[in-house]
Structure 1
């Protein structure tokens, strides 16, 4: 099996210009899961979406790997309530304690998409990221997923700089950037896209 993907860094950020459906995952998310399972790592998806029903659509070719991983609890879904979520929520705290005390190789997808959409800023997620990284030792690889929005520029820049690599998911394109070298380019692309999307949605209101 060949699941190689440019996800060798430990702190990955995926920013999507559109909502992602679990039955049509971008390559980086799909390979993050499959590569981990194939290497017998534990893979945890922290999400507010009960997406387990569509697991076979992650990759039909490797559905046996997915089902077997679920059976032995190597693939887990931790569901949280996005309406009441904060950095001290029980589900979040319990998962942090688990990875902090684990000696296993673990890959975690942190799906914060619904939260940033509902509150419209990145501050809460930034607080969560600080806790996640402080609890993650060298055997933990984290991938954070959020929706692109028109954030406060300086806050968003500080948020992005906490990661090793950023993947921009724009329709059918996936572009990755090294944070240290290309952060300004990343922010320009994302903020321009968010502002254009906002203008288009405003125009629709007056049609």
Structure 2
């Protein structure tokens, strides 16, 4: 993986004021909601520039914060979505540099590693496989993308060619895909623990989801019914 691309990604991530502000608000409200649920903290009043607000309905306050966290999670996702895609690309680059998964031999022009069965092409016929990319293709669907050379009246051009990894044969089986997905999961976990930008992006989702789950568990049935009716309206 190119360290320069990782550093450039971090700079853009930290420099996105909209994303940073939504992340800060989501984390703050999620932690506040968790404090209420775990400690039973009660908010008596809030001081504003004009007047004081006294909270008499604590369950209503929890519902209000719950809805605020949900809205902020949606807003945060809209800002963070493009960075999720780039994080996957960075992780995929590290994964494709693992010789156990993929290796292009420049001398023999042959492919080795687990993916040789899924690709099932000779590198000499498809030189674009030297820079093959591992990409998502829907839920639990993966594919290999490489540049293929085409010739036409205007000369030659290079277009992306896809190799679906969810199509199986005698050598590339469902078990092969399961092993590949296991490797991917391992690299995802490594990225989460080793590279701080992963936790920066995914941490707010974890806090928000945890706060929502614990709040719903502690809310009484009547409050949940009223909340559901309010959402349906």
TM-score interval, normalised by the smaller of the two chains: under 0.3
More strand by share: 1
Give the TM-score taking structure 1 as reference length.
0.27
More helix by share: 2
Q: Which has the higher contact order (CA 8 A, sep 6+)?
A: 1
